[in-house]
C-alpha cells in the first residue's frame, strides 16, 4: 500500500537525517539547531553552536568579506544556494562540505528559516589538493633552469607544452633571470614533440618578457617538423634568435658575450 503524503515526507526527512548533516538557521544567520551528523563533522556540541552566527564555522577573512555578506543577503531574498564550501571545525581544521542552503517560506511567502543539508567531502578534497600539489611539483621539476656560465642560463623543455606549463616556464624564467642577473637564456625545445600557435605565441612572450629584463633569449632545437608548422601557422618569431641545436645555441650565446668555444692544441 502506498505511503500517505505526510508519512512519506517524514520517511524522507528521517532518511536525510541519518545520512547527511543538517543545520537550521535563523534569518540573521544564527544557528538554531543541528543534527548529530553535522555536529560530528565540525566537532562542536549543539550547546556550543546554538545561538552562534554561521560565521563561527568560516575563515575570518571570508566571514568579513563582501562575498559573505552577499551570500546571506541572497538567502534572505529566498535564493537557493548550492556548491562545495570550505568550513572550519572546532579544532581549527578545514572541512569541505558539498551542501545546499534551502530557504523555507511561510504561508505568506516570507523566508523564515534556512535549512542546510551537507555531505562531508573533506577526504576527497584533500586527495584532490594533494594530487594538484604533486602535479605542480612534478611540472616544476620538469622545467629546470640551469646556470651554465656566468650570466647565462639554460632551460631545456621536454614533453608536451600546454598553456599552464608555458605560464610556469614564464614565471621560472623571469625569476631566475632576476636572481642570476642573466644576460642570455637558452630555451631548448628539442624535446618538444609539437608546437601549436598558442604555445609558439607563449614562447615568444617569454622571450619578449626576458628582453624587457635585459636578457636575450635564444631558442634552440627547432626541428624541421616544428619549423614547418610555424611557417604554416604564419607565426613570425621576429628578432628572436634561433639555432638548430643546443651546441650552436651555446656558441652563439658565448659569441654575443665576446667569447667563443675553441679547441685546445696539443
Maximum distance among all Cα pairs of the chain, rounded to whole angstroms: 104
The pLDDT value recorded for residue 169 is 83
Q: Where in the chain is the domain with CATH 3.30.750.24?
A: 138-256
What is the percent of the chain with per-residue pLDDT over 70, rounded to a whole number? 86
d(CA 128, CA 133): 9
Average pLDDT, the chain: 85
Please state which of the four CATH numbers 3.30.750.24, 3.90.1150.10, 3.30.720.200, 3.40.50.150 is assigned to the domain occupying 138-256. 3.30.750.24
The pLDDT tens digits for 93-116 are 999 999 999 999 999 999 999 999
pLDDT surpassing 90 at residue 26: yes
- The number of residues in the chain equals 266
pLDDT value at residue 1: 41
% pLDDT > 90, the chain: 45
Instruction: Encode pLDDT of 163-199 as tens digits.
Output: 777 778 888 888 899 989 999 999 888 887 777 777 7
pLDDT tens digits for range 65-80: 999 999 999 999 999 9
Range list for CATH 3.30.450.20 in the chain: 5-126
Q: How is domain 5-126 classified at the architecture level of CATH?
A: 2-Layer Sandwich (3.30)
Please report which helix (H) or strand (E) contains residue 112, including its range. Answer: strand 111-120
Cα-only R_g, the chain:
30
The larger pLDDT score, comparing residue 261 to residue 28, is at 28
To 10 degrees, the CA torsion angle through 80, 83, 84, 85? Answer: -30
Residue 115 — left, alpha, or beta (φ > 0 → left; ψ -120 to 50 → alpha)? beta
pTM score: 0.53
> What is the pairing mode between strands 184-191 and 216-220?
parallel
Q: What is the pLDDT of residues 218-244, one digit of tens each?
A: 999 887 877 887 788 777 777 788 888
Amino acid at each position: 500500500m502506498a505511503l500517505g503524503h505526510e508519512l512519506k515526507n517524514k520517511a524522507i526527512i528521517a532518511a536525510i537525517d541519518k545520512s547527511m548533516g543538517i543545520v537550521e538557521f535563523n534569518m540573521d544567520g544564527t544557528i538554531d539547531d543541528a543534527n548529530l551528523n553535522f555536529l560530528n563533522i565540525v566537532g562542536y556540541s549543539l550547546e556550543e553552536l546554538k545561538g552562534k552566527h554561521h560565521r563561527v564555522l568560516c575563515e575570518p577573512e571570508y566571514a568579513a568579506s563582501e562575498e559573505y555578506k552577499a551570500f546571506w543577503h541572497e538567502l534572505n531574498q529566498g535564493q537557493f544556494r548550492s556548491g562545495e564550501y570550505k568550513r572550519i571545525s572546532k579544532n581549527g581544521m578545514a572541512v569541505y562540505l558539498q551542501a545546499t542552503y534551502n530557504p523555507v517560506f511561510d504561508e505568506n511567502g516570507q523566508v523564515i528559516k534556512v535549512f542546510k543539508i551537507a555531505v562531508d567531502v573533506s577526504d576527497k578534497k584533500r586527495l584532490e589538493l594533494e594530487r594538484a600539489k604533486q602535479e605542480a611539483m612534478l611540472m616544476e621539476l620538469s622545467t629546470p633552469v640551469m646556470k651554465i656560465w656566468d650570466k647565462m642560463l639554460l632551460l631545456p623543455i621536454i614533453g608536451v607544452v600546454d598553456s599552464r606549463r608555458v605560464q610556469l616556464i614564464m614565471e621560472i624564467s623571469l625569476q631566475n633571470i632576476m636572481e642570476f642577473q642573466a644576460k642570455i637564456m637558452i630555451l631548448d625545445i628539442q624535446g618538444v614533440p609539437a608546437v601549436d600557435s598558442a604555445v609558439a605565441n607563449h614562447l615568444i612572450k617569454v622571450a619578449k618578457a626576458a628582453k624587457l629584463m635585459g636578457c636575450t633569449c635564444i631558442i634552440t632545437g627547432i626541428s624541421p617538423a616544428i619549423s614547418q608548422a610555424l611557417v604554416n601557422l604564419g607565426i613570425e618569431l621576429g628578432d628572436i634568435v634561433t639555432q638548430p641545436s643546443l651546441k650552436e645555441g651555446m656558441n652563439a650565446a658565448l659569441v654575443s658575450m665576446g667569447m667563443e668555444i675553441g679547441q685546445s692544441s696539443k
